[in-house]
């Protein structure tokens, strides 16, 4: 094979020549033209040409058993620095949003930046994640804060038991649903985490159902919410027990909350109320707002500010020795 151990996407005329987008865990992507008549492969260009694959960290594919026996797929990226690479290492548990979504094997700016700074990065694909079969996805229905969170917990404990992760140096991080799971992890398993970072996280599930957001415009979206999360008519009984806002007083570890001011999916009120509740209970909380941003980050300056806030927070609450000549956050985004 000309391009082994990579994902290769092919387009064009299979009788004459095709364009190939080839990428992997250490390469954001390279474009090639393959001339079938000449059997010649020529590089056309690179995505993020400033990224040196030799300096990136490989992403390992792994799996582990949940407490109920379900096999949970996951990705693991080991830290770059020699000192941190020695197990057990400080770990970032990076939770994807959705939750009916998934992470993919491939180059990821956030993962690579964290690994460069000395962190082990663990990405569990908990039940309810898409792409692993219908039964696996449906196993997450109605399990916000319950079995879905337990899958994350079981993965963390697996890596600790294997001597890979340092049990005293673990931070949980996520956006949207991942932000919810990060906050809920501090409530449900406070012994596991030294800190948490939540971007655009849902903090009150009942409020997410009852108040305005952009997925409540039509009947189909509302029906999907009820199927995936639960019956909103039972919001207090069903959602309050697993809503971080209702349990802010139980949180012990420092929290970084970040939110886009124009977020229409999870309105910024979720973040503000969580910040206020944490402050009212004397907790350590940092608050960052991104102007002109919604449920995700569009602008380069926002991405840089996000990573700088993250690294500053981790430097205070989950410090590791930075590698020599560590690149600035902006470097990974070029």
Mean pLDDT of each 10-residue bin along the chain, 334 residues long: 88 86 95 88 93 94 97 96 70 96 96 96 97 96 95 98 96 97 98 97 85 61 69 73 96 98 92 98 97 93 96 96 50 46
pLDDT at res. 324: 46
Q: How far apart are CA 82 and CA 255, in angstroms?
A: 28
How far does CA 83 lie from the centroid of its chain? 25
Q: Across the chain, where does the E strand assignment appear? A: 7-13, 17-23, 30-35, 40-46, 59-65, 71-77, 89-95, 120-124, 165-175, 195-199, 255-260, 285-290
pLDDT at res. 332: 45
Q: 3-class SS at 228? A: helix
pLDDT at res. 87: 75
Q: Are 257 and 198 in contact (CB under 8 A)?
A: yes
The tokens 């600790």 sit on which residue? Answer: 160
Point out which residues pair with 41 in neighbouring strands: 34
**Strand-pair category, 195-199 with 17-23:** unpaired
Torsion of CA 191, 194, 198, 203, to 10 degrees: 30
pLDDT at res. 215: 61
């Amino acid at each position: 094979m000309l391009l082994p151990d990579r994902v290769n996407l092919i387009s064009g005329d299979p009788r004459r020549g095709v364009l190939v987008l080839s990428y992997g865990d250490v390469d954001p992507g390279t474009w090639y033209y393959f001339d079938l008549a000449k059997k010649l492969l020529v590089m056309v260009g690179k995505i993020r040409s400033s990224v040196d694959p030799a300096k990136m960290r490989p992403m390992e594919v792994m799996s582990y058993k949940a407490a109920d026996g379900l096999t949970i797929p996951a990705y693991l990226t080991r830290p770059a620095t020699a000192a941190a690479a020695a197990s057990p290492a400080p770990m970032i548990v990076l939770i994807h949003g959705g939750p009916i979504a998934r992470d993919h094997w491939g180059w990821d700016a956030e993962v690579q930046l964290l690994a460069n700074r000395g962190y082990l990065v663990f990405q569990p694909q908990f039940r309810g994640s898409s792409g692993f079969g219908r039964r696996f996805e449906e196993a997450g229905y109605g399990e916000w804060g319950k079995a879905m969170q337990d899958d994350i917990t079981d993965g963390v404990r697996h890596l600790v038991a294997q001597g890979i992760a340092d049990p005293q140096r673990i931070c949980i991080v996520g956006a949207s649903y991942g932000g919810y799971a990060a906050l809920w992890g501090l409530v449900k398993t406070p012994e596991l985490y030294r800190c948490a970072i939540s971007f655009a996280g849902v903090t009150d599930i009942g409020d997410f159902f009852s108040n305005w957001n952009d997925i409540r415009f039509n009947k189909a979206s509302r029906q999907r919410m009820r199927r995936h999360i639960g019956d909103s008519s039972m919001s207090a009984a069903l959602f309050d027990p697993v809503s971080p806002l209702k349990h802010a007083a139980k949180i012990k570890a420092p929290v970084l909350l970040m939110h886009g001011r124009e977020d229409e999916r999870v309105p910024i009120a979720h973040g503000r109320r969580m910040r206020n509740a944490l402050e009212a209970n004397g907790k350590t909380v940092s608050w960052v707002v991104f102007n002109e941003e919604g449920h995700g980050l569009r602008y380069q300056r926002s991405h840089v500010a996000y990573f700088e806030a993250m690294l500053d927070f981790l430097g205070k609450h989950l410090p590791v020795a930075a590698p020599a000549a560590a690149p600035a956050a902006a470097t990974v985004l070029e």
